[in-house]
């Protein structure tokens, strides 16, 4: 049985700089629960949503978190931060191994347009392997609203999806359902870790490969260590969710094509009449 201990930290984050507070919480988590092997924070947890805080690859924040991961010998995904790359800014989450090395970075595929302005969307689906354990996928916040993202990560081998988010809007209730649905229809664990305080409404959720809620946080700061079982993922995929649907096998074996994915879908009836992607404006009365 392959088990792995992952702790989400729902941080009471300020709208500016939180790296010191994050480090302190990692120190506390590792001292209190020595079995923790990976720690995950929420989206934009380090510096908040200000574009002027963007740093290039290998900047001071990444160096700081690499040293923190090495200090404790853990895998660390310190949420995401804005990454400056030439004249573009990405919303990126780095994955740091226990040696303090960045093994990959996930660039948010779907910026929250039209509200998250000035951010370039990524174009790669991010997976990484923990040797001797299994394959993980990473997505960020709004990405989970597009079912293709989680399905693609799973097709690339992911058995656990790590999903930092920053939600401080009324749709958090809907996201709880989406997180469970992503876990259920892809037969994977789904770690949706939100911020609280000035950067979020909390209510992080961790869902099982059968779509069950393993833990749902409240609105305050919270440390959430969960022991995941990779053999459960493999058993559910082999025998079916609740002993019933073998979803991934059915998807694999279906002799179907999907017109929406073939070429430009903008002329299809369901999309052509939607209008431009822009903020709603106050009506003139």
Percent of the chain with pLDDT over 70: 100
pLDDT single digits (tens) 256-278 = 999 999 888 888 999 999 989 98
DSSP letter string, 151-195: HHHHHTT-SEEEEE----STTHHHHHHHHHHHHHHHTSEEEEE--
Across the range 44-71, mean pLDDT stands at 97
Instruction: Tell me if 5 sits within 8 A of 227, measured CB to CB.
Output: yes
Which band of pLDDT confidence, cut at 50, 70 and 90, is reported for residue 99? very high
Which band of pLDDT confidence, cut at 50, 70 and 90, is reported for residue 80? very high
What per-residue confidence (pLDDT) applies to 284?
A: 87
Residue 23 is part of which domain span? 3-245
Percent of the chain with pLDDT over 90: 92
* Residue 96 falls inside a structural domain: yes
Other CB atoms within 10 Å distance of the CB of residue 282:
5
Q: Is the pLDDT of residue 1 over 70?
A: no
* Residue 274 falls inside a structural domain: no
What per-residue confidence (pLDDT) applies to 151?
A: 98
Token readout for 8 is 């989400």
Which band of pLDDT confidence, cut at 50, 70 and 90, is reported for residue 94? very high
Q: Is the pLDDT of residue 38 over 80?
A: yes
Rounded mean pLDDT of the chain? 96
| Count of domains forming the chain | 1
* Residue 256 falls inside a structural domain: no
CATH of the domain at 209: 3.60.110.10
Cα separation, 138 vs 13, in Å, equals 21
pLDDT single digits (tens) 164-218 = 999 999 999 999 999 999 999 999 999 999 999 999 999 999 999 999 999 999 9
Across the range 52-62, mean pLDDT stands at 96
* Residue 60 falls inside a structural domain: yes
* Residue 22 falls inside a structural domain: yes
Which band of pLDDT confidence, cut at 50, 70 and 90, is reported for residue 281? confident
Q: Where are the alpha helices (DSSP H) in the chain?
A: 19-32, 60-72, 147-155, 172-186, 230-239, 247-253, 269-272
* Residue 254 falls inside a structural domain: no
DSSP designation for 282: P
* Residue 186 falls inside a structural domain: yes
What per-residue confidence (pLDDT) applies to 283?
A: 87
Within 13 Å of residue 31, how many CA atoms lie on the same side as its CB? 6
* Residue 107 falls inside a structural domain: yes
* Close Cβ partners of 105 (under 8 Å, ≥ 6 residues apart): 57, 83, 92, 93, 94, 95, 126
Model's pTM, two decimal places? Answer: 0.96
pLDDT single digits (tens) 110-140 = 999 999 999 999 999 999 999 999 999 999 9
Q: Is the pLDDT of residue 279 over 90?
A: no
First-to-last C-alpha distance (Å) of the chain: 65
């Amino acid at each position: 049985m392959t088990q792995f201990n992952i702790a989400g930290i729902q941080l009471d984050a300020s709208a500016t700089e939180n790296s010191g507070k994050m480090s302190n919480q990692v120190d506390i988590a590792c001292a209190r629960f020595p079995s923790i092997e990976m720690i995950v924070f929420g989206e934009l947890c380090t510096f908040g949503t200000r574009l002027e805080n963007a740093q290039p690859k290998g900047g001071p924040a990444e160096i700081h978190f690499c040293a923190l991961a090495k200090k404790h010998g853990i895998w660390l995904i310190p949420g995401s931060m804005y990454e400056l790359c030439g004249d573009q800014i990405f919303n990126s989450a780095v994955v740091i191994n226990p040696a303090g090395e960045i093994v990959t970075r996930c660039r948010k595929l779907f910026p929250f347009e039209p509200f998250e302005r000035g951010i370039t969307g990524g174009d790669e689906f991010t997976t990484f392997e923990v040797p001797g354990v299994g394959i993980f996928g990473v997505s960020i916040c709004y990405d989970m609203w597009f079912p293709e993202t989680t399905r693609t990560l799973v097709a690339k081998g992911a058995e656990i999806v790590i999903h930092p988010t920053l939600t401080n809007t009324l749709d958090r209730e809907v996201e709880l359902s989406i997180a469970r649905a992503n876990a259920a229809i892809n037969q994977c664990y789904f770690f949706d870790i939100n911020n609280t305080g000035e950067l979020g409404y909390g209510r992080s959720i961790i869902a099982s490969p059968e779509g069950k809620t393993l833990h749902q946080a409240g609105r305050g700061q919270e440390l959430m260590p969960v022991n995941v079982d990779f053999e459960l993922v493999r058993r559910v995929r082999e025998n079916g969710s609740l002993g019933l649907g073998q979803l991934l096998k059915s998807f694999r074996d279906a002799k179907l094509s999907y017109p929406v994915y073939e070429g430009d879908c903008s002329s299809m009836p369901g999309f052509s009449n939607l209008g431009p992607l822009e903020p709603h404006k106050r009506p003139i009365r």
